[in-house]
Amino acid sequence: MRWCVCARLVDNWGDIGFAWRLVRALRALGEEARIVVDDAGALAWMAPDRGDDPRVETWPGRTADAADIAVETFGCGFPEGLRAGVFINVEHLTAEPFAARSHGLPSPAGGRTVWFFFPGFDGDTGGVLGPAISRPEPSAGSGERVVTAFGYANEAWSGLVDALAADARPTRILALPGGAADGLRRALGPGLARAAVRVEPVAFRSQDGYDALLASADLNLVRGEDSLVRAVRAGRPFLWQAYVQADGAHVAKVRAFVERYGRDAEPALREGLQAAFAAWNGFGQPGAALALPAAAVWARHAASFADGLAATPDLAERLVRFASLKWRALPPSDATGVHRVTP
């Protein structure tokens, strides 16, 4: 089928990051897919060697080519004049119960039906975007702990360094540009070091390069949605920083995720994860120091959770299956003038 995936750059690069991964995943399944985005600048480092990768179209603008399936990511809307047989809104990932209740429901919008597709961590949702990330085998090394840091502004960066420094293990934090690098610089000063902890600023990686970085680290600090999924897929311990919303909706989102992520964890780890994620997102016990769960137990759980997800169909596979059913139910020629051809 012919797919058109649409994205608008709202919060830095997560929106186009997800859309680009989705288009790549669809093409890996044999689908014909292109991307329409209002700002493709981030692809210069996110996908530096595009080769035969998807066609990129600029939005705003009028798209001339029809699509069998049109996807708006996160309710971004569709370009003017886009004709398609099936319209789908792939929503934000959440572990909250409403995702399963809302997944697959239709909504009338602008004279067309748009189908809701909710990502999630269980079988009654749309799943999470792949692919799984290969984890390198543990090897004897210097004993240095490697931490990757990608985040928004956060008051807890200094507390994180304290937690890492508590066991005196040599630790190198690879800080990507933005809130992480800025926060660590404020916490540590120009020397970028405290006790056995030192910070090394690094440049943005391509998507594949970032996956490899996550898989090789001992702890990953991630933000937003696309990076959360990659941290989960990497199967390494991580802390997720949700995008702060004025109405506090991010608190429920974090709590729901930690409940799902820690469902099969040992009780002590589950409690440690709840406290650490709450402190990292600014709603933990007042005055409580950030404490990290036991590393070995956490690492085993992270790998087990990732392996469980890898054994189930990913978001792209479920989306193709979902869209195919809606496509086959169309009349031979729908109201948009796009003629149905059974894939």
Strand partners, 148: 174, 220
Is 15 catalytic? The answer is yes
Residue 337 burial by CB count (10 A; 0-12/13-18/19+): exposed, middle or buried? exposed
Distance CA 87, CA 68 (A): 9
> What DSSP designation does 75 have?
T
Please give the Cα distance from 268 to 273 (Å, whole number): 9
- DSSP code, position 103: T
| 80 is an active site residue | no
- Pick the catalytic residue: 72, 96, 211, 225? 225
Which residues fall within 8 angstroms of residue 64, CB to CB, at 6 or more apart? 81
Nearest Cα to 15, choosing from 50, 44, 39? 39
Give the separation between CA 266 and CA 122, rounded to whole angstroms.
Answer: 20
- Please, what sign has the CA dihedral across residues 163, 268, 296, 305? negative
Of 15, 72, 211, 226, which is the active-site residue?
A: 15
End-to-end CA distance of the chain: 6
Catalytic residue positions? 15, 225
